[in-house]
Structure 1
Amino acid sequence: MTAPVYDTVIRNGVLGDSHGHADGDIAIVNGRIAATGHDLPKGNTEIDAQGRLVLPGGVDTHCHIEQLSGAGVMNADTFETATRSALHGGTTTTVSFAAQHPGMRIRDVLVDYSILAAAGAMTDYAFHMIVADTAGDNVDDLKTAIADGHRSIKIFTTYDKVRLQDNEILTTLRTARDAGALVCVHAENDAMIRDATATLLAEGKNAPRYHAQSHPRLAEIEAIERMCRFSEFTGARVMIFHISTKEGVEIVRNAKARGANIHAETCTHYLFQTEEILDRPDSAKFLCSPPQRLKEDQDALWAALGQELELVTSDHAPYRMDESGKFRHGSDAPFPKIANGQPGLELRLPLLFDAMVSSGRGGLAKFVELTSAAPARIFGLKTKGSLGIGKDADLVIWNPERTHKLPDALHDNVGYNPFAGAVLTGFPETVLRRGEIVVDNGELLTWPGTGRHLDMAAVR
């Protein structure tokens, strides 16, 4: 009897990535994709994917996990609970934040987060380094961290605990440019937000529904424009996070046309929610920054996908609806005292699959490009994001016909689902991470600490 050639063969599926799709089989050896084609030799494990799509695992490059926020509130999710939720939704790689606050050494922050992730993560993972303090030895720490493979930096233009001044931003951009790193920016004008908030509170408008007005669209517009100009001035490579406005898209389009080294993303909630959701009685669930915008903004974001907006992330920012999270300052707290963010790791791929693949708003190749291929490519995650030979066998077997109603709570530790009750078509039935089945028809088959840290390669 001939010995099996492969560890695993997935047969009879439709193999799809950002380049297209075709019927075929895919074989795995030592956790990597070894072959694709038809009638491949036998594997030790055989999986029949008849009637199913076999796609790369999701790569979510914007997740807040086990992190103290800029407002001083701890996330509800640990690395265990967040990555458990990610796997159930078909995401096999996460990039979350190692959050420096003023007075902390960057090197110490990275050690602390690395210990937490190594113990709890079930996805493969990497970090963005939040830089909130460039004083002392922190610039040297940053250079060392980049050389060690931490090639993504996050900076904020707002929030008291993490906001950088323009001179500090320029220092960070030049450091990243010289060391081959990417700088991601939360771009909103702090003074405009403060002014709008003070005006609303003085008028007695303190309910959650006024949150959107407290983050005026001009605050995003000004800061995105400024960060694009800073990128041009320094030559640094910059990613603008969570664009929510049509003007933001236009600014990125113009910057790219001028030759600026700019990338940009949007997030699931901006594509599927508008600011009208803040009129609901439970609106605290949906507060996020920047806030949801108008239908015309949403339409502009959809039109820009795969062009100005190169990827879609979750911006998973999990806070429970209790005193540990959203209502740290009481259930009747004014909107500036309510923690911002909503869970999204588990929902990103199913929501987008339903819209882009099942409903045809973009198609299969663009779905994979936005959720797997582009994030892996832009952030230098060389073994992720495609079905190419030699890539990690992070695979999701989707049932494209299966409909499912989203439950009231997910597999995270948040306790609510912002899209509860929605009926979606397309379900991630089987999830493989490096060739190992980690979720099968809703059952988790792995355990905390099995995720691996990923270095980011230099991308110019």
Structure 2
Amino acid sequence: MGIIITNGRIVSSEGILEKDVRIVGEKIVEIGLNISKAGDKIIDAKGSYIMPGAIDVHTHFDADACGIVADSFYTGTKAAISGGTTTIIDFAEQVKGGTLREALNQWNEKTEDNTYTDYGYHMTISDWNKETQKEMEDMVKEGITSFKMFFAYKDLQVGDGAIYEALKKSKELGVLISFHCENGYIIDKLREEAILNGNIEPIFHMETRPPALERESISRLISIGEVVNTPVYIVHLSSKEGYEEIQRAKERGQKVLIETCPQYLLLNKDYYLPRGQDSFEGAKYVMSPPLRDIESNKVLWKGLNLGEIDVVATDHCAFNYKVQKELGIDDFTKIPNGAPGVENRFKLIYTYGVREKKITMEKLVEVLSENPAKIFGLYPKKGVIKEGSHADIVIFNPEYKSIIKAEEQIQNVDYNLYEGFIQYGRFEYIFLRGQIIVEKEKIINSTPTGKYQRRGKPKFHNN
């Protein structure tokens, strides 16, 4: 006995098909017409799109500030699957002086039997040495085929020499390293100067992280990548300056993969200004890189449409406004860095991308599902509606209209970046490996059933 999804429109990056989908167990077994068999359960998707579950390749669940965790893996992945995301890739963070294996063990303890989505890890490298280099091989054997390094944050950043050596190792292994690109050394000096001058408000988070420092570190990374002759992946691109630097590199033939986030498409630096009665409210938008200007919003949308930006992820890193963000009420440098977003990504990109004709429906599936799966070694197991693929399926009715309200969200955080935004669409059904998890926007399976996904080698490409 199987499940038939009928009368819907199947979306891929290549087009939209009006065919039925048959699911047996965890997989899609047939796509076509008149494919039902005796005993099959029939789901009528008339008027809806049938799409692969979205993949969020940039989350930071279980982030701690002052001993408090807002979104754990349990609450965060529950919010994710409610918002159409069926797989996440989180960052297991090596601490300086620690090992990759210790980080992996810690993250396995957090996730075991505790996720509503399927999941994998990127391994953050903050302490480059011969042991870490050897451990990269061990991580690949565990199905972890992507890593991350930072140009910023004292407790995470590494030098150019380490980046060069790590890229050489990634090329040898056929894996990918992603990079947080901001010049942390100069940012630290700008922050020190701001505090000395009495500039303590949240807006100075933005002022001390100018787009020139994103562009500079992107240029430096690309130069190192060119020397090694290996692709690089840039996380959460925020600025037109950074985008233009990447385009110059691509014209020279360098392989650069780009990720951006909804906040850099939909929000701008005006959110740091005092609002209403609460002059500290800009703290809600303290994230890195910070929000940029409206022109950057436009450039990033254009890059998505042209296929120059590969992925839209969230960089979901939730801290409550009360107590946690308030740690920096007298000093913006103490505001925990990060913001929520995993619950809203799908509908926001549909509403402000597809409905406003900035991108097509096919492009939405490409940047939310297909490209993440291909780049990070999950394709064709995930990211596509295809015979033999996991039945991670979203049935999306585009006609419903709602308003985003923090009081109604599943994300375990006390505000929403997009409070009051109109959004369109309703998730009629969301399947994870053939099991219905969400029906009519309600989670009907109260037990987390997410599984760890071993990933293959990344597929590098420039569209």
| TM value normalised by structure 2 | 0.94
Question: What is the 5 A alignment of 1:215-230?
Answer: 215-230=209-224
CA distance in 2, matches of 1:16, 1:136: 46
Question: What corresponds to 1:354 in structure 2?
Answer: 351
CA distance in 2, matches of 1:108, 1:294: 40
CA distance in 2, matches of 1:96, 1:400: 29
TM-superposed CA distance for 1:149, in Å, is 1.5
Contact kept? 1:356, 1:363, Cα under 8 Å: yes
Q: Secondary structure at the match of 2:222?
A: helix
CA distance in 1, matches of 2:446, 2:174: 34
Q: Secondary structure at the match of 1:411?
A: coil
Q: Secondary structure at the match of 2:8?
A: strand
CA distance in 1, matches of 2:102, 2:205: 35
Residue 386 of structure 2 aligns with an amino acid whose one-letter code is G
Question: What corresponds to 1:310 in structure 2?
Answer: 310
CA distance in 2, matches of 1:435, 1:417: 31
Question: What corresponds to 1:446 in structure 2?
Answer: 445
Residue 232 of structure 2 aligns with an amino acid whose one-letter code is V
Question: What corresponds to 1:182 in structure 2?
Answer: 176
Give the alignment partner of residue 238 of structure 1, picking from 220, 232, 236.
232
Question: What is the 5 A alignment of 1:248-259?
Answer: 248-259=242-253
Give the alignment partner of residue 17 of structure 1, picking from 12, 22, 41.
12
Q: Secondary structure at the match of 1:314?
A: coil
Question: What corresponds to 2:27 in structure 1?
Answer: 32
CA distance in 1, matches of 2:69, 2:307: 32
Question: What corresponds to 1:391 in structure 2?
Answer: 389
CA deviations on 1:65-96 (whole Å, 9 max, x unpaired) are 12458xx9765211111100001100001001
Give the alignment partner of residue 81 of structure 1, picking from 71, 75, 79.
75
80-89 or 299-308, which moves further after superposition? 299-308
Report percent identity of matched pairs: 32
CA distance in 2, matches of 1:197, 1:112: 32
Q: Secondary structure at the match of 1:401?
A: strand
TM-superposed CA distance for 1:307, in Å, is 2.4
Question: What corresponds to 2:334 in structure 1?
Answer: 337
CA deviations on 1:307-345 (whole Å, 9 max, x unpaired) are 22111111101111233x322x35x23111101111010
Give the alignment partner of residue 125 of structure 2, picking from 121, 131, 142.
131
Q: Which runs of 5+ in 2 are unaligned?
A: none
Cα RMSD for the two superposed structures: 1.7
Structure 1 residues 74 and 99, CA gap change in structure 2 (3 angstroms) = farther
Q: Secondary structure at the match of 1:402?
A: strand
TM-superposed CA distance for 1:137, in Å, is 2.0
CA deviations on 1:6-42 (whole Å, 9 max, x unpaired) are x110111111121111222111122111112222223
CA distance in 2, matches of 1:94, 1:380: 13
Contact kept? 1:143, 1:175, Cα under 8 Å: no
CA deviations on 1:95-149 (whole Å, 9 max, x unpaired) are 0110111011111211221222122111011101000112352221122112331
TM-superposed CA distance for 1:269, in Å, is 0.2
TM-superposed CA distance for 1:440, in Å, is 0.9
TM-superposed CA distance for 1:243, in Å, is 1.0
Contact kept? 2:426, 2:440, Cα under 8 Å: no
CA distance in 2, matches of 1:255, 1:269: 25
1:408 partnered with 2:406? yes
| Deviation beyond 4 Å, 4+ runs, structure 1 | 72-75
1:290 partnered with 2:289? yes
Contact kept? 2:100, 2:135, Cα under 8 Å: yes
1:262 partnered with 2:256? yes
416-425 or 285-294, which moves further after superposition? 416-425
Contact kept? 1:358, 1:400, Cα under 8 Å: no
Contact kept? 1:249, 1:308, Cα under 8 Å: no
Question: What corresponds to 1:457 in structure 2?
Answer: 456
Structure 1 residues 68 and 81, CA gap change in structure 2 (3 angstroms) = same
Contact kept? 1:17, 1:368, Cα under 8 Å: yes
Q: Which runs of 5+ in 1 are unaligned?
A: none
Question: What corresponds to 1:371 in structure 2?
Answer: 368
CA distance in 2, matches of 1:361, 1:261: 25
Contact kept? 2:63, 2:318, Cα under 8 Å: no
1:44 partnered with 2:40? yes
Residue 144 of structure 1 aligns with an amino acid whose one-letter code is D
CA distance in 2, matches of 1:188, 1:68: 23
CA distance in 2, matches of 1:453, 1:180: 21
1:319 partnered with 2:319? yes
CA distance in 2, matches of 1:164, 1:23: 50
CA deviations on 1:200-247 (whole Å, 9 max, x unpaired) are 223221101221111011110100011111111112321011111112
| TM value normalised by structure 1 | 0.94
Residue 361 of structure 2 aligns with an amino acid whose one-letter code is L
Q: Secondary structure at the match of 2:113?
A: helix
Question: What is the 5 A alignment of 1:68-147?
Answer: 75-135=69-129, 137-147=131-141
CA distance in 2, matches of 1:270, 1:175: 32
TM-superposed CA distance for 1:166, in Å, is 1.3
Aligned length: 450
Residue 401 of structure 2 aligns with an amino acid whose one-letter code is T
Residue 354 of structure 2 aligns with an amino acid whose one-letter code is V
